[in-house]
Amino acid sequence: MDTPALTDTDTDSHAGASDHPVHNSPAPGRSRSPVLNRLFARREALPFALLVAAILWFWSDNHTFLSLLNISGMLAYAPELGIMALGMTLLLTAGQFDLSVGSVFSFIPILVFIIANNLHVALTVAVLVGLAAAAVIGLINGILVTKFGITSFLVTLATQLILAGAAVYVTAGFPEATLAATHSAIEPLLVGTVNIGRLELYAGLFWFIGLALILDYVLRQTSFGNWILATGGNREAARSRGIRVDRVTIGLFILTAVLGGLAGTISDIRVGSAYPTAGQGYELQVIAMAVIGGTSLFGGSGTIVGTLIGVILLQAISNGVVLVGFPGLAYPMFVGAIILVAMLLQSGLRQINIGLERRRR
Amino acid sequence: MTPTTHVKMSGISKSFGGVEALSDVDFEVEAGEIVGLLGDNGAGKTTLIKILSGALRPDAGEITVRDKPVHFRGTRDAIAAGIETIHQGATLVDQLTVSRNLFLGREPTRRILGFLPRLDWPTMREESRTLLSQMGLHRTVDPDGVIASLSGGERQSVAISRAMYFESDLIILDEPTNNLGLDETRRVLSFIREAKAAGRSIVFITHNVFHVFQVVDRIVVLRHGRNVGNVPAAETSVEEVERMITGVEAVAQR
């Protein structure tokens, strides 16, 4: 979780340093105030501060905010958006975004339960078919963006509309029952619960944490992560180094879509029915989570840890504003405000950083 | 010295839509030679180099590397054949650290717990530090610092040393001295000499005739997508090369 350096596309200084302590000493010629700089430089610091502030505000106004029951509720819902946000984080880091995830979130579980309910196959099979379908959607998005050179905004806007329309069309607008999930082998895996005292944790949370750990590792510690960062940072440079930037991009579109399908399936089984409009608007919330967490909207820099914080922050806000007495439907108002505040503070910190850098030269 | 042909491109033609960018162009680099490729904007330098680096495919013509015919399907193939291209401003990723850039696309990895691949940070840092110290830069550059914090000359040095580290035996430098200060230019030029001393062949593309004369062995000039000059640097002058580039006077037939 350690991200040194200025704009910090991170290296793992913990691990590097522990292997070879000699590398721990700062390079000579580095003469900035390290504590201040590192604090400002860490992208996750700002969203984390906002999260702490939000929690303190909600809690001081209404102590039930931090009650186990309320936390259980938040932890049931947040991971479902969070799983999508993880895929989106890597995709944004590679310089693309996906507006179709919300529709994938709606459409895939409908497909899964149409198959399970009408063809009487095991739910496990239906889920696998659904995720494969999601992968195909991601593949199509990716191919249209990379091979046909259409911007991801237009491509995924189109697929978003197509899937949203298709979800309503095939269901005639009615929710698809998810009863087939009951007692199926895969049910505990998707929506099982673990009780720790009065704290009830859903399987979705473990998916979210597990995926976050894996993807954080992939982004920061593997060659593929380096390719993702380079693809988003300077596509031509990455290509000239022999990196298959199109494949990286397509792969991440597939990942994002599959995670959207998985999240939708988990969510709909937990809720009890697959609504054709379940994921409406989620794509923008998910992008907001990643960006508030510190991932760049323009590629080349991304943080899973930041997204984790962004997910919790937006969930805390959507829950907290209700507890402190605002109507729940006013929630987007606060999301908008928090995005602006986060971006303003971030650009303010960047100015300070540039100032420090100049003084150092 | 017995010159052996490193790269030979012959009869290269390439059109974009109806526009002919290159027509029947020949280009040769001997082993261990520094060749200056000159021409005005739109003369076809970049197109020729993109073909040599695998980024474009020619409509017609042959390429041989060490007398073996090659057919590059992409930059990977060219890199595998030892041809490294350093484009102006486009080979480094600003947001990434120096060490991540140096090893981009060829990251050393280790397996932790016997199966989990992971970037080999100690190697990356150590090698980066060695490379950076060999560049003769004025200040110590931190391998964990981002490229965005380096000056233009430092970036060029990083890009060139990366090409040398990975044993590319033909390094193509596309306008390496553009937008550089005097001192930085000098450093890049001396770096080119070092690369030659280390046995590398180099193609130096520029429209700054003065920089070319300081380092190259031979000068090749393109105009409107055709060969218009191919002379040893010692046997020509800045004025003559400029005439070839602009075509103001009839080109001396050689």
Rounded to a whole number of angstroms, the CA Rg of chain A reads 21
Pure H helices in B23-97: 45-52, 75-80
Whole-number Å distance between alpha carbons of B85 and B32: 16
* Among B55, B95, B142, beta carbon nearest to A300: B95
Q: What is the pLDDT of residue A350?
A: 73
Integer CA distances (angstroms), A270 to A118, A189, B78, B148, in order: 21, 12, 53, 47
**Mean pLDDT across the stretch A88-100?**
97
pLDDT digits over B75-132, tens only? 888 988 889 888 766 689 999 999 999 999 889 999 988 888 999 999 999 989 888 8
Set of chain A residues whose Cβ sits within 8 Å of the Cβ of B87: 236-237, 240
Q: What is the pLDDT of residue A13?
A: 35
* Among A19, A223, A300, beta carbon nearest to B93: A300
pLDDT digits over B190-242, tens only? 888 888 888 889 999 987 888 888 889 999 999 998 999 898 988 888 888 88
pLDDT at A25 over 70: no
Set of chain A residues whose Cβ sits within 8 Å of the Cβ of B141: 27
| CB-CB under 8 Å, B97 with A229 | no
Average pLDDT, chain A: 85
CB–CB contacts below 8 A, A to B:
129
| CB-CB under 8 Å, B75 with A4 | no
**DSSP collapsed to 3 states, chain A:** CCCCCCCCCCCCHHHHHHHCHHHHCCCCCCCCCHHHHHHHHCCCHHHHHHHHHHHHHHHHHCHHHHCHHHHHHHHHHHHHHHHHHHHHHHHHHCCCCCCCHHHHHHHHHHHHHHHHHHHCCCHHHHHHHHHHHHHHHHHHHHHHHHCCCCCHHHHHHHHHHHHHHHHHHHHCCCCEECHHHCCCCCHHHHHCEEEECCEEEEHHHHHHHHHHHHHHHHHHHCHHHHHHHHHHHCHHHHHHCCCCHHHHHHHHHHHHHHHHHHHHHHHHHHHCEECCCCCCCHHHHHHHHHHHCCCCCCCCCCCHHHHHHHHHHHHHHHHHHHHCCCCHHHHHHHHHHHHHHHHHHHHHHHHHHHHHHHHHC
Set of chain B residues whose Cβ sits within 8 Å of the Cβ of A225: 119
Distance from CA of B29 to the nearest CA of A (A): 21
| CB-CB under 8 Å, A237 with B91 | yes
Q: What is the pLDDT of residue B52?
A: 93
Set of chain A residues whose Cβ sits within 8 Å of the Cβ of B149: 6, 357
**Mean pLDDT across the stretch A268-278?**
91
| CB-CB under 8 Å, B75 with A7 | no
pLDDT: which is higher, B1 or B205: B205
| Dihedral (Cα; A32, A35, A39, A41), 10-degree rounding | 20
Q: Are strands B170-174 and B83-86 parallel, antiparallel or unpaired?
A: parallel
Q: Given pLDDT bands bounded at 50, 70 and 90, which one contains residue A214?
A: very high
pLDDT digits over A158-186, tens only? 999 999 999 999 999 898 888 877 778 88
Closest Cα in chain A to B79: A242
| CB-CB under 8 Å, A23 with B125 | yes
pLDDT: which is higher, A61 or B140: A61
Q: Given pLDDT bands bounded at 50, 70 and 90, which one contains residue A149?
A: very high
| CB-CB under 8 Å, B107 with A233 | no
**Mean pLDDT across the stretch A199-217?**
94
| CB-CB under 8 Å, A240 with B75 | yes
Structure tokens at A37: 């700089």
Whole-number Å distance between alpha carbons of B195 and B181: 21
Listed in sequence order, the residues at least 6 apart from A349 whose beta carbon sits closer than 8 Å to its beta carbon are A40, A46
Rounded to a whole number of angstroms, the CA Rg of chain B reads 19
Q: How far apart are the first and last CA of chain B?
A: 24
pLDDT: which is higher, B176 or A311: A311
Indicate the pTM of the whole model: 0.82
Distance from CA of B250 to the nearest CA of A (A): 38
Q: Given pLDDT bands bounded at 50, 70 and 90, which one contains residue A252?
A: very high
